[in-house]
Each structure stands twice: as structure tokens, then as C-alpha cells.
Structure 1
Amino acid sequence: MRTIRRTMLYIVLTLTALALTACSNTNTTQESGTEASVAGTKGEPATRVVKDAFGEVTIPVEPKNMLVLSPSYAENMIEIGVIPNAVTLVKEIEPEYRPKLFNEHQVKMIQVEQYEDNFELLIEESPDLIIAQGAAIDAKKYEALSKIAPTVAVDAGITIEEYVPALGKLFGKEKEAELALQKYIDKIGDTKQKLHNSIGDAKILVIRVEQKQYRVLGQEKDSPGSDMLYHKLGLNIPTKLKDNHDWFTPISLEVLPELDADYIFVEQRQMQNYSSEQSMKDLESSPLWQGMNAVKKGQVYPLKTADFVDGEGLVGYPLFMDYLVEKLVK
């Protein structure tokens, strides 16, 4: 009798220990790391918790209608193997390649007004996840977006090297992000070598033609265009602008003769409901412009805002580098 009791007691203790071990393993799996997966209840999708620029947010494990508020983010997500369902964009300022890329991957393009928020339009899309640039939205806008759908304000800097790894981590595509970024870095190295072999220490000027003024590109680090030209590719800026570390600085046409530019790229500013046609005509008819060495030698090339500012991305910037090589490498 004692033997039977002992055997039964042993079985009970063994089963209890196994049950406690199973509970312990479950808790460890859910609580470890920076993300915690939460199994959905019957009929509800599974979710996970991620950290963004404003704290923690619970998002679907497998979103069915993901909306991205940044075209450059959407472009780079595609390049690492994450296809959003929709993206907001301003048609007038998008580079030509990007709508083609979105159409190819069946990403719905939602046209919005430049510099305006239209939350009603976003509500109509019924997203179950919104992806935004953490550096581009404030707490008030984040709160408004979060009322529409779970919103991730990606906590990363403004450069490709900063936010592509962050997107890779968010979607479990770290390796893909690393490979895509390395390909981009290799492209920069190859382009830099070609340009320096061709033009050496030649000075490159970028002049922006706006509706009521002219501006020149400076050497501000991490900003579109200036970072690529003067930092990553190591090209030289005209002597008078060497201490200019702003992004763009207004100038008068009277300054043009003082700029020792060997090559000039002219950006006729693109914006929604905007025209700089008259300013462009005034520039081209100016004797001061016509007297510049680069102009007299025919070493002046057009540059679209869409291509070197709005086209910042793993697809767009290699195309921009190809354009530089096309114009400067003889």
C-alpha cells in the first residue's frame, strides 16, 4: 500500500514540475528582448510591442494594410523586402522613378497636399499600421495618427545610413538592410573614384533658382545633396563658399563673378503650385551669368529638386550618382 501511495505521489510531483517549467518557458519567451509577441485572442490578429520615438506601441505581427507617410521610407522598405500597402506622396515633387517603383510592387499612391496634414484622407484608407519618420512629426501629430491606427514613429536619424538599419530591425530584416546599405556604400566609393579620376580638384557649384531669389548649396552635413556632393563624394566647392556650412544660402547675381566654379548644376526649384520660370529667364539673360567660365565652356547642367532632394534613397541616390558621372566623367 505504501508503495502505491509513493508511486502516485511521485507522479503528481512530476506533473506539477513539468507544468511549472512550461509556464516559466512561456514567460521567458514573451518577456525577453526589446519586443514581446502577444498571441491574439480567437478571431483577433496577433500583435507585438515595439519601441519608437514616443515610447512603446502595440502593432500587428502581420499588418494587412500598412500605410507609410514617407515616400523615401517606402522606397527603402521595398529595397529590404518589406512591401507597404500604401504611401502618401506629393505628385509634383516626386522623382520619375519612384511612381514606377511603387506601381511595380502594387503600392497604392495616395496624393496629398505639400506641407498639409489631411487626417480625414488617411482615415478613409483604414490602415491597420502607420509608419512615419520620428524626426518629422511632433507629439501632437503622433497622437492624431495613433487615433487612426497604431503608429510607429521610427526612432532614427535623417540619413540613409541611420534609418535603413532601423527599418530593418523593425521588420526583422536586419540582414537585408545590411546588404542593401553595403551595396549603396560600395556605389558611393566607386562613383567617388570615377569622379576624382576625371575632374580632380575641380569646383562644383549648385545654384537653386527660386521664385523670388537665388540660393547656393553649402556644405551642411547630413542634408540632401550637400552631404552627398561635398562629404560622401568629396567634391570641391567654390572658394568663396568654403566656409559655408549651411544647406542653402541666398545670394545676389552680383556675387556670381566671385564664384570660381568649374562645373555648375542649376536646380530650378520644384514645389506644388509654384513657378520659378521668370527667375530662370532672368538668370540666363544676365551678363554676370553669361560671363562665368563654366557657362562659357558649356559646363552647366540641369538638376531636378526631385532627384537630389526628394529622391534620397537606396534607389534614387545611385541614380543621382549615375547622373553626376554622366555629366562630369568624359
Structure 2
Amino acid sequence: MKIAELVNREREAAAVLTRLDLSIEDAKQLLHHSMGEERITVMQVSHRAVGIQGKTAHPLNELIYKELALKPGGQVPNDMWRLEIPPEALPVLETEHLFIQKHHVLAGSEEIFNLMIQTTAWQETGAIQKGNIHAIPNWFVMSWTPLGRQHIIKTLIDLLAK
């Protein structure tokens, strides 16, 4: 809102934020009804490690686990923004839906991803066995803006609402 004040567009900014709040509430109800107890995990694979997004301290985490109230997978950290682990240390993920972004592909995230998918834990993960794995764009950056958050919400509805 501070930027909107500087350019004299407070009313427009307030309207955008109100629409976003309504969209979040509608999506929350729809996804809750659709998914029941199914869990979601968001990962970012970089050229160094596999990151499992936590429940706090980042707008993406807050959107998914707090505002939309989606149920976190078993390994989603409660009090961290992200847990980074080497691919060979990946546990069996207790989740029905897995969203993955490959970050820094040119730097080598594809190599880390390939190491991860060769592990026994990966093969035993329910979301993988059911085909509920989704490649995502950089939601980590998108989650900072109303337009990006709207895109994330629409994608979640398109993929998860039955």
C-alpha cells in the first residue's frame, strides 16, 4: 500500500487486495471440500540441494498452509521456511500431492533432480506412485505479488479441485 500511496492509487490497490482476499477464501473452501485430508508438499530443487518448503516465514508457505489451509505433508517443517537436504538423504515423503520447481537449471538443478528421482524414497512416495507430481514455475517469487498469488491459486484449483 505504501507504493500505491506514492503514486496516488490507494483505492485501486485496496480493490486488488480485497479481490485477492475473496479469491483466497473461495479457493480455501473449494480445495478443502475437494481434497479432504490429502496433503501437499512444495519442493525446490537447486544445483545444491532439495528444499522442502516449511509452513512459515515466506509468502508462499503462508499462502498454501495458512491462508488456504491446505494440509502439509509429513516432512513439511513447522517452524522453518525451508528444509534443505541432499537428494540422497530424501525420506519417503508423506504426501498425496507434490509440487516441484527446478531452480537454477543452468547451474545444475537437473542433476540434483535426477539423483533424487533415483532414490528408493522417491519411488516409495505416495504422490509419485499416484502420479500427483506437478512441475511449477517460480512460485517462490510469484507469491510476493497479488497477481502471482492469483496465478498460484488458479493453478492449485485447476490441479486439485475435483
Same fold (TM over 0.5): yes
- State the match for 1:322 in structure 2: 154
Q: Does residue 232 of the first structure (1) align with residue 64 of the second (2)?
A: no
Q: Does residue 218 of the first structure (1) align with residue 54 of the second (2)?
A: yes
Which of 135, 140, 149 is the aligned partner of 1:309? Answer: 140
- Whole-Å separation in 2 of the counterparts to 1:226 and 1:177: 23
- Using CA pairs under 8 Å that are at least 6 residues apart, name the structure with larger relative contact order, 1 or 2: 2
Q: Is 2:90–2:116's contact at 8 Å kept on the other side of the alignment?
A: no
Q: Describe the SS at the equivalent of 1:250.
A: strand
Give ranges in structure 2 of 5+ residues lacking alignment: none
- Whole-Å separation in 2 of the counterparts to 1:284 and 1:240: 17
- Report the residue type matching 1:196 in the other structure: H
- Report the residue type matching 2:124 in the other structure: G
- State the match for 1:265 in structure 2: 99
Q: Larger radius of gyration, structure 1 or 2? A: 1
Q: Describe the SS at the equivalent of 2:71.
A: coil
Identity percentage of aligned residues: 23
Q: Give 1:302 deviation, angstroms.
A: 0.8
Q: Does residue 300 of the first structure (1) align with residue 133 of the second (2)?
A: yes
Q: Give 1:316 deviation, angstroms.
A: 1.7
- Whole-Å separation in 1 of the counterparts to 2:104 and 2:157: 23
Q: Is 2:41–2:76's contact at 8 Å kept on the other side of the alignment?
A: no
Q: How does 1:63-74 map to 2 (within 5 A)?
A: none
Q: Give 1:255 deviation, angstroms.
A: 4.1
- State the match for 2:84 in structure 1: 250
Q: How does 1:187-206 map to 2 (within 5 A)?
A: 187-206=23-42
Q: Describe the SS at the equivalent of 2:155.
A: helix
Q: Does residue 280 of the first structure (1) align with residue 85 of the second (2)?
A: no
Q: How does 1:136-215 map to 2 (within 5 A)?
A: 165-215=1-51
Q: Describe the SS at the equivalent of 1:225.
A: helix
- Whole-Å separation in 2 of the counterparts to 1:215 and 1:256: 12
Q: How does 1:18-57 map to 2 (within 5 A)?
A: none
Deviations 1:127-174 (A, max 9, x none): xxxxxxxxxxxxxxxxxxxxxxxxxxxxxxxxxxxxxx2122222222
Give ranges in structure 1 of 5+ residues lacking alignment: 1-164
- Whole-Å separation in 1 of the counterparts to 2:39 and 2:122: 17
Change (3 A) 1:224 1:275: farther
Aligned CA RMSD, in angstroms, stands at 1.8
TM normalised by structure 1 equals 0.46
- Report the residue type matching 2:91 in the other structure: L
- Whole-Å separation in 1 of the counterparts to 2:115 and 2:75: 23
TM normalised by structure 2 equals 0.89
